[in-house]
Amino acid sequence: MKRFRLADGRGPGRCSSNDLGLIDRSMLCVEEDTDMADDVDEWGVPASMFGGAVPDEFAAALARVAMLSALVESKLLGLLSTVGAEPQDVWAGKAAGEILSKLETIAVAGMPARQSAPAALLDALRVEVVAARSDAHARNELLHAVWPVPLVDGGLGWKLLPKKQRDVYAQWSRAVTGDFRPLIGRFVNHVRVIDNLRAQIDQLPRRVSGQ
């Protein structure tokens, strides 16, 4: 059976023949022969799909990025219902980018649902929105990549790019490197910051309809 591995020998992953040409030169694939049995892990995933068993540490890191980012999105929705004039159900299910854009507008224009929001609090809201948007992008890079080298430290993946993300029209994929531990730490911090912001905003008097 034909398989392909990274030319520099990094593992445990290998890249398939379909990956050739999709990843940058630093991840050049070379062909090798192997009779490795197509073992499956406890979840039913064949080892051949990623060139070997996916390390538990990598799967755990990727899962934490997914779980924490979903929690942050939920917290942002709650924050929007605290500062905005609309209830949560109006924004529930909308993309995180839309919620962040609405919060960004409120941070600049003021809180429709609250009276006399201090400038420092609005500024703190703006700073958190900018940081959360940046980390949402980092999350997408990791979760939407294919990982021929699934390692927390020193791992490499590649991601297909929509046209709007291409620096050069012909460049329709790019390499992705793991940034798991710092990103997980930032997501944990986002949860704490958003909870703190919401607690402070809850202390402000609500704006009466018509004011």
Q: Using an 8 Å Cβ cutoff, are 158 and 148 in contact?
A: yes
Per-residue pLDDT tens digits for 108-140: 999 988 888 999 999 999 999 999 999 999 999
Closest CA to 22 of 178, 176, 172: 172
Per-residue pLDDT tens digits for 16-51: 444 444 444 444 454 444 444 568 888 888 888 887
Q: Using an 8 Å Cβ cutoff, are 122 and 107 in contact?
A: yes
pTM: 0.77
Give the tokens for residue 206: 């609500």
**What is the gyration radius of the CA atoms in the chain, in angstroms?**
22
Distance in angstroms (rounded) separating the CA atoms of residues 190 and 137:
14
